[in-house]
Structure 1
């Protein structure tokens, strides 16, 4: 058994031109089963950090290791395989395919991974039922509410049992009621052992969901604090 972190960045720097780096020497460790929120204003480096962890971009220097994989050393084919096997991604605007049913949207990652049809359908139904949207399986995404679409997006992200769930502003396009639904959903997933890295501008969401909050300013970590949610409740 290993105690290696799920995410391990060492002095990760990303420069796109001759200006200031988008990410400047970031060292960050996230344990398996943890939930960490990354806060920061536009241009702070949040998206760059997410892209490096997802293998969508490479650091100019430093290292990025996720679930034991040196992501910064992967080629294009290796990065695609890594994302299929290890990463689930949830976005602000869902990115569901409107010409596919809810069930078929959830099946897409399994099809890309070459999972057998029977096994994939069983897994998809299991996820839709556990996330409370199985009644919409034959509907198309545009007929669902924002909160329901985000639940479908989460089901799709979890289809291949990823080691890490990356959530990029997952409540940014939702009303207050749906925000709470998604927060509870992510809390439940984390309680079941799912490692989550949440990128958000919502301070309250970060404090109520994550064990830690990391704040980026000008590409560097300005603050890394343990949230009250991580502390044991008195009398429990």
Structure 2
């Protein structure tokens, strides 16, 4: 039985102003349950690829389909609804709201999606407990360690049960011990069936929590291989 794609990019290109293309004829398929790392140096196109998948940007050409949704066809309001329903995002610097406590940060996406208050808080409590930070539910983010804040950010990202979790340099602002903790968490989430795409420049992170590595250079996908193996050039 073939698993349906969660992400399907076909011949996607994107350029900005008069500079070189940020992404060139990119084609990529990610299936449910995959754990994929997107590697490449600064300027390789990693952020552009992530933004296109998340519906934060539109391609100049090509198609972007995520969980059956043609993302490039969405308007601004449709893209916002799409992100609430389909995408969980984890960022390098957490992006938690400092004036909300931990539980209210986690609850926010569900409330924006229309979930009732009681159900949203019940779901948040379950997530915080499963991620080992439930004791901090009433604390404000500034009182937590970096690793704890990233766990809260993961709980928020999972709040609406998205089919896809996108992590953008999730260990970039953490010390090595906290980074290993987050890497293990991503690995455990994937083992439970969560589809994960990690955008990073850190090869060690890619090897530790993903099973497949996509390499970008100058806006092009240059290699696609199982993590930890020698990557090969994709067929032209």
TM-score range, shorter chain: over 0.9
Task: Give 1:140's aligned residue.
Answer: 140
**CA deviation digits over 1:169-223, x for unaligned, max 9?**
0000000100111011101100000000000110011011111011100000111
Report how far residue 228 of structure 1 moved. Answer: 4.5
**2 CA distance for matches of 1:25 and 1:49?**
11
Task: Give 2:5's aligned residue.
Answer: 5
Task: Give 1:95's aligned residue.
Answer: 95
Task: Give 2:182's aligned residue.
Answer: 182
Determine whether 1:108 maps to 2:111: no
Please say if residues 4 and 68 of structure 1, whose CA atoms lie closer than 8 Å, have aligned partners that are also in contact.
no
Task: Give 1:164's aligned residue.
Answer: 164
Determine whether 1:191 maps to 2:199: no
**1 CA distance for matches of 2:3 and 2:27?**
18
**CA deviation digits over 1:101-135, x for unaligned, max 9?**
00010011011101001110110000000000000
**1 CA distance for matches of 2:207 and 2:132?**
25
**1 CA distance for matches of 2:93 and 2:53?**
20
Determine whether 1:56 maps to 2:59: no
**CA deviation digits over 1:44-76, x for unaligned, max 9?**
000000000000000000000000111011111
Task: Give 2:42's aligned residue.
Answer: 42
**1 CA distance for matches of 2:167 and 2:123?**
21
Task: Give 2:65's aligned residue.
Answer: 65
SS in 2 for 1:198: strand
Task: Give 1:204's aligned residue.
Answer: 204
Report how far residue 2 of structure 1 moved. Answer: 7.2
SS in 2 for 1:6: strand
The alignment covers a number of residue pairs equal to 229
**2 CA distance for matches of 1:51 and 1:138?**
32
Report how far residue 18 of structure 1 moved. Answer: 3.0
The runs of at least 4 aligned residues of structure 1 exceeding 2 Å deviation read 1-4
Report how far residue 19 of structure 1 moved. Answer: 2.9
**2 CA distance for matches of 1:219 and 1:148?**
34
TM-score in terms of structure 2 length: 0.95
CA RMSD of aligned residues (A): 1.2
Please say if residues 13 and 22 of structure 1, whose CA atoms lie closer than 8 Å, have aligned partners that are also in contact.
yes
Task: Give 2:224's aligned residue.
Answer: 224
**1 CA distance for matches of 2:142 and 2:13?**
39
TM-score in terms of structure 1 length: 0.95
Task: Give 1:234's aligned residue.
Answer: none
Task: Give 1:17's aligned residue.
Answer: 17
Please list every run of 5 or more consecutive structure 1 residues that lacks an aligned counterpart in the other structure: 230-236
**CA deviation digits over 1:143-188, x for unaligned, max 9?**
0000000000000000000010000000000001001110111011
**2 CA distance for matches of 1:3 and 1:169?**
27
